[in-house]
Amino acid sequence: MPKPKLEISRKHFWWITVLLLAFLAGTNLAAYCFGLSKGGSSAPPGGEYDLTLPESLESEWEIFIEVIERLRESYLYPLDLSELVRGAVRGAVEAVGDPRTVFYDTQELTNFLIQKEGSFCGIGVRIVEIDEEIVVMETIPGSPAAAAGISPGDRIYRAGTQELSGLGLTRAAEILRGEKGSSVALSIRRPGRKEEQHLTLVRDEIIIDTVFSRMEKPGLGYISISNFDRKTGASFAEQLRLLENAGLHKGLILDLRDNPGGLVDEAIKVAGLIVPEGEIARLVGRDGEVREIYHSSAPGKNYPIVVLVNEETASAAEILAGALQDRGAALLVGAKTYGKATVQQPENLPGGNALLLTVARYLTPAEKDIDGTGLEPDISVETPLFLKYYRYFLPLRLAQGDYGPGVQMLQEMLAELGYKPGEEGYFDEATAAALSEFQAAAGLEASGVFDDLTWLQFRQVFEKLSRERDPQLRRAVELIEQPSMQLEPGRKVN
């Protein structure tokens, strides 16, 4: 059969041009062609775009156009051409094979920027979707939600006139956010109560604190960093100053566990305060060229530093931990880190979209490339599974006959508290009996059914246990309290 001839008529030219631009948007050519990246111009030299397709891609391009044309003209149901274009863009980006290079539409970009900026306008809750219902997992301190008494376990059924059930997590979050000063009426149901409660909240700017500090013991400071956003460097500097003014002299515990990274520049600001004078990290391009070397000019601290890391310590957090380890300024305690040593740069695209593009990789001061391998701790200390995952245990309704990961997690938590649940992963009579014992001891109805009230009680118990039984933190305190503690690059301490 002869090969079908591809005819590009005038009426089709407009959408074929759009699809070509969409294809380019998913490649490294996009930033150049559109001129929308940082420092980019509106057009290349000469003022015209070169859209010439390489000969080696002509057959693939014919197939691409042919598929789109046949979908548009012959598919049973009407198709949205813009959705086809976006699908083409996403497909091109996914074909790169790098999960960190991502296309964001306008709403996804908004969520990404909230994470990076560390603030947004809304009521101040972190929510999850369970059985199509919107459930509060956490309220942000100082937010309108916290002031109104909204707490974990509350189920938000309505915002204004909009029913939230069944809308999905993304849409529910959009509805709860809004302009500063605008009000929203909420209908919620509290654990243990059948009737709905009605509250009206005024939206405000929500500041997400990424740095938390305390004096663990007299003279021994503790600072945790949950993420690196645009306020992290300044917040760390201020909290470290306050601790030092309050008498920090024995040592500092820097907790980077579960820190997924964030803005590299903010991690460099933190490193510039505690890494001794010299190199922090270097960025290397795809041809191996050194694009930038970050330096610290700090004199170094006269007290020991221990950094807590685990499997979820990644990216910018690894830059900081790797610099401290390689420069002999700290010991790493915990588990091997995630191993993400690439840097992503957002590239602006038309229509409020963006491409998060991997543009470089970084090396530690000892020129270690840890992408895919992670940092090895100086002292390995495992954390019990229940301490790792209790924060992710959702307020599901579980009863006899249920099975699966949720039941298994419940059983592991009961066992950790000294109860004797039954068959692993299956909610049997023994599990119901163990749960009833826990409920009775907590002053709850001994129903043997896991409900929202029981979830709240578990959460409170394990929050307390996580502080009391944190083996990595306890090991860090022990190390700092050793007067002979020496900090040397790569040294292993038993």
CATH code of 369's domain: 3.90.226.10
The catalytically annotated residue of 213, 315, 378, 402 is 315
- Residue 110 in any domain: the answer is no
Cα separation, 18 vs 143, whole angstroms = 44
Q: Over range 103-128, report the average pLDDT.
A: 78
| 477 occurs within a structural domain | no
Closest CA to 492 of 272, 364, 333: 333
CA distance 153 to 177: 19
- Would residue 246 count as lying in a domain? yes
pLDDT value of position 110: 73
Note the pLDDT of residue 485: 67
- To which H or E segment does residue 128 belong? strand 125-130
341 and 268 inside one domain = yes
Task: Tell me whether residue 473 is in a domain.
Answer: no
Mean pLDDT over 145-151 rounds to 94
The dihedrals phi and psi of 387, each to the nearest 5 degrees, come to -75, -30
The yes-or-no answer on residue 369 being catalytic is no
Cα separation, 457 vs 69, in Å, equals 58
pTM for the full model? 0.77
Q: Are residues 229 and 312 in the same domain?
A: yes
Same domain, 190 and 170: yes
CATH of the domain at 438: 1.10.101.10
The answer as to whether 60 is a domain residue is yes
Q: How many CB atoms lie within 10 A of CB 155?
A: 21
Which DSSP string corresponds to 66-126? HHHHHHHHH-SS---HHHHHHHHHHHHHHHT--TTSEEE-HHHHHHHHHHHH-EEEE--EE
Q: 112 in a domain, yes or no? A: no
pLDDT value at 32 more than 90: no
Q: How far apart are CA 470 and CA 382, in angstroms?
A: 10
Q: Is 470 a catalytic residue?
A: no
Sign of CA dihedral 24, 28, 29, 33: positive
Q: How many domains does the chain have?
A: 4
The CATH number linked to 133 is 2.30.42.10
Within 220-277, strands assigned E span 220-225, 251-255
Regarding whether 216 and 200 lie in a shared domain, the answer is no
Q: What is the enclosing helix (H) or strand (E) of 465?
A: helix 452-468
- How far is the CA of 394 from the CAs of 131, 138, 153, in angstroms? 11, 12, 9
45 and 171 assigned to the same domain: no
Q: How far is CA 62 from the centre of its chain?
A: 40
Does 264 share its domain with 362? yes
Q: Are residues 34 and 50 in the same domain?
A: yes
- Evaluate if residue 46 carries a pLDDT over 60: no
- Say yes or no: 278 and 194 in one domain: no
Whether 231 and 366 share a structural domain: yes
Q: 163, 182, 207: which is the final residue of a domain?
A: 207
Q: Out of 367, 383, 399, pick the residue that ends a domain.
A: 383
Catalytic residue among 229, 231, 340, 452: 340
What domain range includes position 228?
211-383
377 shares a domain with 262: yes
Q: Does 3 map to a domain? A: no
Neighbours of 82 (CB within 10 A): 12
Residue 478 domain-assigned (yes or no): no
| Residue finishing a domain among 155, 176, 207 | 207
* Same domain assignment for residues 175 and 235: no
- Is 326 assigned a catalytic role? yes
Tell me the per-residue pLDDT of 172-218, one tens digit each, with 9 for 90 and over. 998 999 999 999 999 999 998 888 999 999 999 988 899 999 999 99
Q: Which two tokens stand for residue 394?
A: 């959702």
Considering the candidates 229, 258, 326, 378, report the single residue annotated as catalytic.
326
Asked whether residue 156 falls in the same domain as residue 302, the answer is no
Average pLDDT, stretch 77-106?
Answer: 83
| Of the candidates 133, 146, 479, the residue with the CA atom closest to the CA atom of residue 308 | 479
